[in-house]
Amino acid sequence: MPELPEIEHLRRTLEPLLVGRRIAQATLHRQDMLCQLGPHCATRQSMMVGGTVKALHRHGKNFSIEVHDGRVLGVHLGMTAQCFVTTAQSDDRQPKNHRHAVWILSHPQEKTLRARLVFRDPRRFGGLVAAASQTELETLRWSRLGTDALAVRSVEFRQLLRSTHRSLKSALLDQSMIAGLGNIYVDESLFAARLHPLSISSALTAAQSNRLHRAIQKVLVRAIDAGGSTLRDYRDGNGDRGAFVPKHQVYGRGRLPCSVCGEQLERSAIAQRTSVWCSQCQQRVGITDARSAIG
**80-129: per-residue pLDDT in tens?**
999 999 986 666 666 677 899 999 999 877 665 689 999 999 999 999 99
Cα 21 from Cα 2, distance rounded (Å): 26
Q: Which of 30, 214, 241, 273 is catalytic?
A: 273
Kind and range of the H or E run holding 97: none
For the chain, the straight-line distance linking the first and the last C-alpha, in angstroms and rounded, comes to 26
Kindly list the structural domains of the chain, giving each domain's residue range(s) and its CATH number in brackets, ordered by start: 4-144 (3.20.190.10), 147-294 (1.10.8.50)
Q: Which of 21, 61, 158, 235 is catalytic?
A: 61
Question: How many other β-carbons are positioned within 10 Å of the β-carbon of residue 88?
Answer: 11
Strands 99-107 and 273-277: unpaired
What pLDDT is attached to residue 111?
A: 61
Beta bridge mates, 264: 257
Beta strands in 181-231 (DSSP E): none
Residue 127: phi and psi, rounded to 5, are 175, 175
Is 5 labeled as catalytic in the residue annotation? no
How much is the pTM?
A: 0.93
Is 2 labeled as catalytic in the residue annotation? yes
CA neighbor of 53 nearest in space, from 24, 28, 31: 24
Whether the Cβ atoms of residue 259 and residue 248 lie closer than 8 Å to each other = no
Whether the pLDDT of residue 217 is over 70: the answer is yes
pLDDT band per the 50, 70, 90 thresholds, residue 291: very low
Q: Which of 2, 5, 141, 188 is catalytic?
A: 2
CB hemisphere CA count around 172 (13 angstroms): 33
Q: Which of 3, 6, 8, 136 is catalytic?
A: 3
Beta strands in the chain (DSSP E): 22-28, 34-36, 53-59, 62-67, 72-76, 82-86, 99-107, 110-120, 127-131, 147-148, 178-179, 266-270, 273-277
What pLDDT is attached to residue 87?
A: 83
**41-74: per-residue pLDDT in tens?**
678 889 999 999 999 999 999 999 999 999 999 9
